[in-house]
Chains A and B, each alone.
Chain A
Amino acid sequence: MQPAVATEYFVVLSAVLFIMGVLGVLVRRNAIMIFMSVELMLNAANLSLVAFAQQWSNMGGQLIVFFVITIAAAEVAVGLALIVAIFRTKKSIDIDELNAMQG
């Protein structure tokens, strides 16, 4: 089965998304925004996984996507909880203010 769109396009797109995610982590200072950027990275991976599954014509890739989504969900749960906790203490979720420890 010939895919409608060549796999390469998907891969490039996912790479762009991934790099956007990385840059997002890099430049954002709001913890939630960073978190969202990480999600973007994961989803970029998901995209390429699906594309590759298409390419290889097996279900492995799509299977992995489900796991990744689950993991992302678990991370979100824990991550948001942590953000809430730190917000209670610090009244801020600016990651640039996380500098209590220096060494």
Chain B
Amino acid sequence: MEVIASFVPLVVILPFAGALLNLFLGRYLSEKLIGALATTAAALAFAVAAVMTVGITAHGYEAVVVNPPILDSWIYIPSAAIDIPWQMRVDTLSLTMMLVVTGVGTLIHLYAIGYMHGDPRFARFFVYLNLFLGFMLILVTGNNFLMMFVGWEGVGLCSFLLIGFWFDKKHGEGWKNSNAARKAFIVNRVGDFGLLLAIFLIFWTYGTLDYYKPNEVLHIGGEKAAADVLVREGGDGIAHGQKGVFAQTEAWLAEGGHIVSFGVFELPFETVVTLITLFMLIGVTGKSAQIPLFVWLPDAMAGPTPVSALIHAATMVTAGVYLITRNSVLYHAAPLSAALVTVVGAATALMAGFIALGQWDIKKVLAYSTVSQLGFMVAAVGIGGYAAGMFHLITHAFFKALLFLGSGSVIHAMEHGHHHAHAHHESEHGEESHGHADHAHEEAFDPQDMRNMGGLARRMPITFVTYLIGTLALAGIFPLAGFWSKDEILGKAFNAAFIDGKLEGFAMLGLLLAAAGFTAFYMWRQIKLVFLGVPRTEAAAAATESSPSMTIPLLVLAALSIFGGALNIPLGVNSVLVIGVLFITAGFWLLWALPSVRLFFIGRAEPVTSLPSLKPAFRLIALGSAAAFMLSGAAIILVPSLGASYPLETLVLWLEHSVPYTKGLTLNPFLAILALGIGIGGILLAQRVYSPAPLAEGNQDVLEIRPDTRPAFQLANAKLYWDETYGRLIEQPYNRAAAWLAHKLDWEFWHDRFHHTVFRDFYKRAADFIATPVDRGAIDQGFLRIGRAVAQAAARLRTVQTGYVRTYVFTMLFGVVLVMLILLLPLLRQ
């Protein structure tokens, strides 16, 4: 196992290598080659992860800590007893994340080749995507909090870069994108602030940042005894033999009454853990878009759609969930924080679900939906359902990526449709411009506004079908993936509420059930607005199905959205993988080897003028990705035949090997039926509300027209005024204060007034004063006056004219008196 796990650096290095290659060679390569390179890097990383999955399964799920070559220690200060290594951890949790990230990532890479076609910065886009994968993998593979933080900030950076990718769009769009990117980064920084503080506290509490020390065996739920801790050799001043953070926590909790000293003050250990977890929560709310820091995520939709799918739906935003899961030991020890996490998550789920009801932008709806679903996950991990949260993380990655990619396909089609329609009208505009940045000469048209769509089901069948699958999965309709995972979460809430009697359990259950209803409603509203009915614009009418490189990932993800639920039903993880892999490979070959199958899907749409031929490079991608998938599938099948065996597993059991306090499966038929009912109810309600026509006159929502729902809709449409509130409470005061500080206080007062008036002018005045009134005045003129008086007294008749010599003499006399006085003073005193 050690050997297999030691490949883990490859998982990180591969995407970085891809990024570097494209960064330096991108300008010389064709689009296909660039895409192939990036996608292959992602696919290979997936393959490595898959191989490791097999390996770890074959070796009893034993976690392995890997020191990467060359870069052994990162921050290593013996005198301060700081040793933070570049150390990676392969366990079931990190592998789960690796698989999701690289798996979904690969598909989205593939999708992006089609989506980004023709963009002037095509290569750079893939550089960023690969870079993102690399950072995300650092985040999940690190064995200490700081490596996690590296990834944490790194993905934030990539998110920033990708949101602002179209920073140069015309009509002020570019500025909007740039500002959205900036907002994302800064809000995330606020979260990072919390995480950093948590890390500081952890370090000074435990003296280390490592999750677990090498060779330290996880002890789960306090049942297994803490293993002997390896003592490393060497006299470099680092205190060896200490336990990792989690083992130490267990030990102190077991021991009880431990006091942590922070130099200037002391705190009981439990309080410290609560503080740490609360600070961590700030980080989670930032990255995973929870109340109060979720505001960046809707704006982040300014990025290209693959980015929204990969980063802002499937992977990066789930980092917070991963973080809490990873720190299950700490959250278990801090019930207060855990409760807060639960409440925050559940509240976010409901709040975002509500806002999503009133959105017009196809991606904004999905964005708020993502926030809402992240709320589900966070609430789940908060209540202690770590596996449930992770489960939902995975299934959500599938169907939300699917939905985003579907929406991307729609937007793409709308843009092309718009262009097409436009070209029809103004045939003199013969110039064929492509891509996204060059629509400058066209009038403003929002291809993302759902009011401009309608009836796309007919035009884009694959997109429609897959989107529908995604929607149903999200709404939690049996037997799609979302049903299982959502039910699992609700089950956890139910247990917490009714079995453990936790107050937050009740809150969570209520909030989440309501949110589930909203989910179904807004998703079906979207289906109605986008796909059903009749086209409402020329663009929608002229839209065509997207190219295979975009539709294939849709199909794969649709399959995963259907079958993903199997992960956690006791079919066994291996069988799910086998099924999944087979399905994926089949999908590839079906789509490319059998064009007729493709025609079967597309044929009913408008006549397809030309099918994109399989370019060699494109084929390379297909082959590469397929090979990677095949390889991993083969490995899963072959390993048992080599003698190793792995038991039938659910995700819960699988995660138990790395996440302490993972609670077992909770299938609650009552709840399942209730949730399903709510989901179906939501859909039916939406269907009723938005039939026959989803839009009333003046492109207004039906709910907007009805007086009883009007205020609610407007509130949702205005996003509950979060941005405005923040703007008024934080941003504007900050800006105003900055301006005041900078221009008034620092410059006008401190720099100008103070330094000029007080320092320089005083200085000058003092100089002038001493020079003119004192030296030439008091001394000179003063003595002149005395001199005049004396002279008048001496020679009354004479008028004295101005004369310097006399005053000089007087001054000297004054000096004589002065000198004599000072000298004689002691004598006089005696």
Contacts and interface: CB of A to CB of B under 8 A. Distances in A.
A contacts B directly (C-beta below 8 A): yes
Interface of A: 22-23, 25-27, 29, 34, 94-99, 102-103
19 contacts: A22-B813, A23-B794, A25-B809, A26-B809, A27-B787, A27-B791, A27-B795, A29-B801, A29-B803, A29-B806, A34-B805, A94-B801, A95-B803, A96-B801, A97-B801, A98-B804, A98-B805, A99-B802, A99-B804
Contacts of A94: 801, 803
Contact of B805 (A23, A95, A102): A95
Interface string B635-662: 0000000000000000000000000000
B802 to A, nearest CB: 6
B803 A97 contact: yes
B800 interface: yes
A95 B806 contact: yes
Given A26-B790, A103-B776, A96 B795 contact: no
Nearest to B786: A26
Interface string B398-410: 0000000000000
Nearest to B792: A27
B794 A27 contact: yes
Among A23, A29, A94, A103, which residue has the most Cβ atoms of chain B within 10 A? A29
B152 interface: no
Nearest to B787: A26
B810 interface: yes
Contacts of B787: 26-27
B772 to A, nearest CB: 10
A26 B801 contact: no
Given A95-B803, A96-B802, 20 more contacts: A23-B794, A25-B809, A26-B787, A26-B790, A26-B806, A26-B810, A26-B813, A27-B787, A27-B790, A27-B791, A29-B800, A29-B806, A34-B805, A95-B805, A96-B801, A96-B806, A97-B801, A97-B803, A98-B805, A99-B803
Interface in B779-830: 787, 790-791, 794-795, 800-806, 809-810, 813
A94 B802 CA distance: 11
Interface string B37-53: 00000000000000000
Contacts of A34: 805
Contacts of B776: 102-103
B813 A96 contact: no
Contacts of A22: 813
Contacts of A95: 803, 805-806
Nearest to B771: A103
A96 B810 CA distance: 13
Nearest to A24: B794
Contacts of B795: 27
B794 A96 contact: no
A100 B41 CA distance: 90
Contacts of B790: 23, 26-27
Interface in B714-746: none
A35 to B, nearest CB: 12
Nearest to A22: B813
Contacts of A96: 800-803, 805-806
Contacts of A26: 787, 790-791, 806, 809-810, 813
Contacts of B791: 26-27, 29
A99 B776 CA distance: 13
A103 B770 CA distance: 12
A102 B772 CA distance: 11
The 6 tightest CB contacts between A and B, nearest first, are A96-B803, A27-B794, A96-B801, A95-B805, A27-B791, A99-B804
Nearest to A23: B794
A97 B803 CA distance: 6
A25 B803 CA distance: 13
Among A29, A95, A96, A97, which residue has the most Cβ atoms of chain B within 10 A? A96
Interface string B191-232: 000000000000000000000000000000000000000000
Contacts of A25: 809
A96 B802 CA distance: 6
A17 B128 CA distance: 100
Nearest to B793: A27
A52 to B, nearest CB: 19
Contacts of A27: 787, 790-791, 794-795
Nearest to A103: B776
A77 to B, nearest CB: 20
A103 B776 CA distance: 8
A44 to B, nearest CB: 15
Contacts of A103: 776
B814 to A, nearest CB: 11
Contacts of B805: 34, 95-96, 98
A19 B231 CA distance: 97
B791 to A, nearest CB: 5
A103 B790 CA distance: 25
A52 B804 CA distance: 36
B783 to A, nearest CB: 10
A102 B775 CA distance: 12
Nearest to B780: A102
A48 B661 CA distance: 110
Interface in B744-787: 776, 787
A95 B804 CA distance: 8
A98 B805 CA distance: 8
A25 B790 CA distance: 12
A82 B321 CA distance: 101
Contacts of A102: 776
Contacts of B806: 26, 29, 95-96
Among B790, B794, B806, B809, which residue has the most Cβ atoms of chain A within 10 A? B806
Contacts of B809: 25-26
Contacts of A29: 791, 800-801, 803, 806
A95 B810 CA distance: 14
